Each structure stands twice: as structure tokens, then as C-alpha cells.
Chains A and B, each alone.
Chain A
Amino acid sequence: MILDPAIRDWVLLPIMVVMLLVGIIRHHISVLITGAPKKPQLKAVRESKALLRGSQLRSFRNAIPPHAFESRKAYLTQAFEQGKYLKNPNAPKEGAPTPNPMTDPDMMEGMMEGMKKQVSNMVPQMLIMGWINFFFQGFVVIKLPFPLTLRFKSMLQSGVDTRDMDVTWVSSLSWYFLNLFAAGAGMNDMAAMGGVAGMAGMAPPGQPQDFNKIFLAEKENLLITSHDWELNSIEEKVLKKYGKSLKSTSSSDKIERSIEDSPDKKEKTVKDKIRAAQKAKSKRS
């Protein structure tokens, strides 16, 4: 089968060039319409930082003296309970349904951003597809240089209903799709991300987090943290660390890293218990 060179000049190349140019244009347009990244709200930042403060107090609790820890704990638990750091403390407390995202201007903006991106992805693709369908329907454009199974026939020859034609011949619409996927896979500096890929990659606008609930959970966490100041028995710890313990320790690994936070220590003691139990068992048997 021979293809007319006119097909190359007036179908194959135009489709490719148009796809390329549209990809570049879309990249520039998306740069234009995204504009400056929006500023985070002061109160929202405060909200998340307060949460961070709570967790930091919990993780570095042993590095400060007991009275300091106690006063911080008291202050933070109180603040969390009263919702002192909430973005809008007057909002209905827990039990109320989550606020409609349409009413929150912040959420609204986020959704608009997503819509813009999706539209700028979809519209050009639809236009090009319509253009190809209108002008170039039924053209066989090119041949793949490798064989394929018969299942690809509907994929590669969409728009051409010829039963006996070899699978490797590609119709104009399928040439468009081939361009689209290859472009989506990394060409054009990701500018021409395909419509399909764009839809799949779109993250849903984040669920509105109920910070009141998170604060209450953080409060609970703070309340149950115990405090064990590291300087309490520092002499012994230092001696142990350098292997000069006064008391003879039975297990050797107790010497290393005694200055650690308590969860790690707890794990160690559990391990020691198991080890001791195993030792006892082996002695018995």
C-alpha cells in the first residue's frame, strides 16, 4: 500500500505541528492565568503552627525542666480546649456539619484554580480532536514499524472501518492520540500534558480539615505525655554511657544510648523482658 505524499504534507505534518504549538501555547497560557501564588492567611498559619508547637513539646519534652514542661502543657491544653488558635473561634463546634466549601472564599479559590487547570487542559484537546475529525476523517496516515496483535486495531484505526487492513496502519485520529500520549509522557517540558493524564493527575481540592477536632486530639495527647527530665539522674546516665556504671548491669546493651526519649526506652525494656524470659527458659530446659 502506498500513501500519497500529499497526505504527509497536508495531514501528518500539520497534526504534529499543531499539537506541538498548542502544547507550547497552553504552557504559556497556564503560566499567565495561574498568576502569583496566593498568600496564606495569617490565622491559618497560626492554626497549623500551634499544632506544630504541641507536637514539638511532646517530642522534646525531656529536654526542659519539669516546671517549664508543666506550665507549657497547662497553657497549651487550655488553649487547645478553648480553641484559642482556631481560624474562626466562633464557628460552630463539633457536631455541626462541615461547612459548605462554597461559602469559604479560600476553598472557592482553590476549586477555581482546579477548574482553570482542567479547562485549559481539556478545551484545546477537544478542539483539536474536532478539527481532526472534521477535516481528516478516514485518512490512513502512517505505518508503525513493528507488528501488533489484532486487539490494537480499534485503537490504531479509529475512524477507518476496513476489516482487512493490516493492524500497523495508523489513522489520523490515532496519530493524534499517539502524539498526545507521547507528549504527555515527557515531551515539551511537560507542557503538553494530555487531557486524560491531566484529569487523572488532578488532586481533589483538599477536604476541609476540622482543626477543632485535631486540636482536641492534640490536647489529649499532651495530657497523657509523661515527663522525665533528662538531667534528673544525669550522673548515672553519663557513667553508664561511658561504661563505668557503679552497679553491674546484666545486659550489655543497656549501656549504650541511655539518653533517649522514653518510647525508645520502653521498647528497650520490653525487649529486655523478652530476652530475660528467653534466658530463663533456656536455663530451665
Chain B
Amino acid sequence: MSADAQGSGSEDVHKYVLPYIMHNAKTMQFARACLAAISGSAAGILGLKNFQGFAFYAVSWIFMSFLLLAVKTQFKPHLFFKGGVKDIFTEGLIGGLLSYILFHTFLYGLVHLYQ
């Protein structure tokens, strides 16, 4: 309503519903946390080493993002995210990587390291 502070932030207020943005971000975060845990475990079980592990993360990330794009947004990402496709494919990539490394290391240790 305050017209004197017409920045990009207040533009967003008129264009998007902020609670829904939060809700969508939360949903995506849940999906990505699960992705990191599951694909990390799988990489650990498969005993991937060195850069194979990161490659597996990239592959599963792309697979997951494509699934989300197809199932959740029906290929219309701009209806659900401010940044459109870019948001689906890049957001949370690094944060997920940490969880992925933890699970990768953990399962790798459990399955391949200890006898």
C-alpha cells in the first residue's frame, strides 16, 4: 500500500502471495532433504568413490528436479516459483550436498569400511 517505497520488494507483494511462496519453498525443501538422504545412502551402498559420488548426486538431483517439474508443476514452474525453472533446478543445491555427503559417508562406512 505504501506507494512511496516502490521497490522491487513491494512489487512482489502485489504480484505474488507470500504465504504460498513460503509453503512452496517448504515443500521443495522436504523433497530435497529426502533426496539428499536417499541418494546419499544409495551412493554409499554402491561404494562410489571420488567424483563418482558427486556425479551421482548431480544425476539424482537432475532426475528429482525433472520429476518435480513434471509431477508437481505440470511443466508450468512460473506459476509456482518466482524464478521459474531456475528455482527448481538450482535452489538448495549446496545445502543438500552437505546432507548428501553425510549420508554417503555414513553408508559407505557402514557397508564398505567396517567388516
Residues of A in contact with B (beta carbons under 8 Å apart) = 2-3, 5, 7-8, 12, 16, 52, 55-56, 58-60, 141-147, 170, 178-179, 181-182, 185-187, 189, 221, 261
- Determine how close the nearest CB of chain B comes to the CB of A182; give it in whole angstroms: 4
Chain A residues, CB < 8 A from B50: 145-147
Residues of B in contact with A (beta carbons under 8 Å apart) = 1-4, 29-30, 32-33, 36-37, 43-44, 47-51, 53-54, 92, 95-96, 98-99, 101-106, 108-110, 113-115
Report whether B105 and A145 are in contact in the complex, using a CB–CB cutoff of 8 Å: yes
Chain B residue nearest to A8 (CB atoms) is B114
- Determine how close the nearest CB of chain A comes to the CB of B50; give it in whole angstroms: 5
Report whether B102 and A178 are in contact in the complex, using a CB–CB cutoff of 8 Å: yes
Which one, A52, A55, A58, A144, contacts B105 given CB within 8 A? A144
Q: Quick one: given A145-B48, A178-B102, A186-B92, are A55 and B113 in contact (CB under 8 Å)? A: no
Which one, A3, A8, A182, A261, contacts B99 given CB within 8 A? A182
Q: Could you tell me the distance between the alpha carbons of A143 and B106 in the complex, rounded to whole angstroms?
A: 9
Q: How many residue pairs, one in A and one in B, have C-beta atoms under 8 Å apart?
A: 83
- Determine how close the nearest CB of chain A comes to the CB of B109; give it in whole angstroms: 4
Report whether A59 and B3 are in contact in the complex, using a CB–CB cutoff of 8 Å: yes
Report whether A178 and B2 are in contact in the complex, using a CB–CB cutoff of 8 Å: no
Report whether B36 and A3 are in contact in the complex, using a CB–CB cutoff of 8 Å: no
Q: Quick one: given A52-B1, A143-B109, A186-B33, are A179 and B102 in contact (CB under 8 Å)? A: yes
- Determine how close the nearest CB of chain B comes to the CB of A222; give it in whole angstroms: 11
Report whether B115 and A185 are in contact in the complex, using a CB–CB cutoff of 8 Å: no
Candidate in A7, A141, A186 with the most chain B CB atoms within 10 angstroms: A186
Q: Which 9 A-B pairs have the closest CB atoms?
A: A59-B3, A182-B102, A142-B109, A185-B98, A185-B95, A145-B108, A182-B98, A8-B114, A182-B99
Q: Could you tell me the distance between the alpha carbons of A221 and B50 in the complex, rounded to whole angstroms?
A: 63
Chain A residues, CB < 8 A from B54: 146
- Determine how close the nearest CB of chain B comes to the CB of A124; give it in whole angstroms: 19
Report whether A3 and B113 are in contact in the complex, using a CB–CB cutoff of 8 Å: yes
Chain A residues, CB < 8 A from B53: 145-146
Report whether B49 and A145 are in contact in the complex, using a CB–CB cutoff of 8 Å: yes
Report whether A59 and B2 are in contact in the complex, using a CB–CB cutoff of 8 Å: yes
Q: Quick one: given A52-B1, A145-B104, are A186 and B109 in contact (CB under 8 Å)? A: no
